[in-house]
Structure 1
Amino acid sequence: MTSQTPADASDAQPQPGPSTGGAQDTTQPPQGGLPRILKNDPARTGFDPRTAWWVNYFKILTGSITAEGAFHYRESRYRAHEARDCRRCEQWRDWCLAHSPTVTFLRQRIADLGGELDARNVVCRRCPARLTEDGAVHRQSGGFSPDHGVLVCANEIRDRRHLEDTLAHEMVHAWDHLRWKVDWSGDKDLRHAACTEIRASMLSGECRWTREAFTRGNWTLTQQFQDCVRKRAVQSVMARPRCKDDVQAVKVVNQVWDSCFSDTRPFDEVYR
């Protein structure tokens, strides 16, 4: 291992693992006064998990279930289809590990640093989303843990291309960790997390124009790529336990932006 660091960051790390499902009045607010997680109440939302799924679906179509209830309905369907989603995810994962140029390149670069990523530590699981009382929905499509490997959230993956982007994002984190021993939680310096998130969003392909335009509805031509990378980096830094608020997240991303956005290692340039 080397003591050198990526660009301005002296360390870097991403946040692994799925969050837990929601709860309202029975859930205590997390530290820092963050919004409570909402738990389904059929009397309030109109969604009753004891009712047949097609009845609830019809109630959503007719407006008898609130937006909050529709969120909990979606999560219930993910639970019901967990085994199917994981099987499909594993098929796409195996294809990417064997045939994706980006993924196979990153696997080799990770191996060069003494690491190994394969079907044993790239796992597909259902990741529960969280709905908080401020109306925000918190989802993730994957995560990286230095101790366990890469998590791919099977229920959030739309297709094989989406899984390829997600896997590439997490593998950039893995490469950064092996190269620079990133401080994922931000205990030492949140700039580490900011740098690796900038690099992962930039190099994975998740901010390519076609993804932004056709998947997220962002048809902006000028600065689209930079805006996407910056936005996703800020959101990821905000999820770190040591980040106080969005103001701090924006500040640390700005501090490392120039050096980390120009750092394309282990690639020669941004291909995706």
Structure 2
Amino acid sequence: MEKKPDLKTSSPEKLSGFEWWRRSLAYRTGLGCDDKEKLQFEHDYQAKYFPENCTQCESFRDWALTYSPSVIFMMGHIRKLGGNLSLANISCGKCDDLKGGGFHPDMGILLCSNWLQSQTQVEDVLTHELVHAYDYLKFKLDMKDLNHHACTEIRASMLSGECRIMREIWKTGLANFGGKFQQCIKRRAVLSVSANENCPSPDKAAEVVDKVWNSCFNDTRPFERVFR
């Protein structure tokens, strides 16, 4: 009689964020995943707690891919550049970090279901990550290069709608009305670059964002203009 593999439930830390994303993608595609690993994934899948809002995130994602003008626009331009993003590699999952999502060239886009609570949030975050995907294909983006990282974060926050004027007014009030859009973009870009393992400090992140600001803020490709 064939002995069944010894399967042990992985610790919660190993089943969340990037590692869970990597394993689930390998399981679905069959790439880099042997039979024992598939069985282990199925076992862990049953043991892992998924918040109910994962299903909600997937519903919001599906709506955005079908009806959102910004998402449809970016998906079209990514296809023109040879990208292959689809439902197969735009997934929802639990994230440990306080962030909305992530892009990986080999794995696609992850939407953090435990942080995204509305259709608008999912639409903005998905557009943000699609800008990263576009930049990777169009400009040979290298996230280890802090200049590259800062530039794509500036563009992603600017083009995604995350920093709409009315949203910033709701958050911070009417003071400095004209500068809120740029302040929001810079704030988000500095936070993202600060998290880069190659960035020594938040001060360095702010310095790099300032260095590339003019050229990257004024680059709205593939959009013709930005609506604030």
TM superposition score category, shorter chain reference: 0.7 to 0.9
Q: Deviations over 1:1-45 (max 9, x none)?
A: xxxxxxxxxxxxxxxx9479xxxxxxxxxxxxxxxxxxxxxxxxx
Quick one: higher RCO (CA 8 Å, sep 6+), 1 or 2? Answer: 1
> How far apart are the structure 2 equivalents of 1:238 and 1:144?
17
Q: Which runs of 5+ in 1 are unaligned?
A: 1-16, 21-78, 130-138
71, 82, 87: which one pairs with 1:114? 82
Match of 1:146 among 105, 130, 133: 105
- Decide whether aligned partners of structure 1 residues 155 and 225 sit closer, same or farther in structure 2, where only a CA change above 3 A counts: same
Equivalent residue for 2:186?
Answer: 230
Aligned twin of 2:5: none
2:133 matches 1:174: yes
Give TM-score, length-normalised by structure 1: 0.64
Using the TM superposition, give the Cα deviation of residue 84 of structure 1 relative to its aligned residue in structure 2, in angstroms: 1.4
* Alignment partner, residue 3 of structure 2: none
Distance across 2 between alignment mates of 1:243 and 1:218: 32
Take 1:120 and 1:218, find their aligned partners in 2: how far apart are those partners? 41
1:18–1:143 Cα contact (<8 Å) kept: no
Q: Where has structure 1 moved over 3 Å in runs of 4 or more?
A: 17-20, 216-220
Q: How many residues matched?
A: 184
Corresponding position of 1:211: 167
How far apart, in 1, do the equivalents of 2:216 and 2:163 lie? 16
Distance in 2 between residues matched to 1:168 and 1:19, nearest whole Å? 20
Aligned-residue RMSD, C-alpha: 1.8
What is the rounded CA distance, in whole Å, between the counterparts of 1:92 and 1:114 in structure 2?
25
Structure 2 unaligned spans of 5+? 1-15, 20-47
Q: State the Cα deviation string for residues 179-213 of structure 1 (Å, max 9, x = none).
A: 112111x2xx3100000000000000000022223
Question: Percent of aligned positions with the same letter in both sequences?
Answer: 46
Structural mapping, 1:94-133, within 5 Å:
94-129=62-97
Higher helix share: 2
- Which residue identity lines up with residue 104 of structure 1 in the other structure? I
Q: Which amino acid aligns with 1:122?
A: I
What SS class does the counterpart of residue 91 from structure 2 fall into? strand
Whether the 8 Å contact between 1:107 and 1:116 is mirrored in structure 2 is: no
Cα offset for 1:158? 1.8
Q: In structure 2, what is the Cα distance between the partners aligned to 1:233 and 1:178?
A: 20
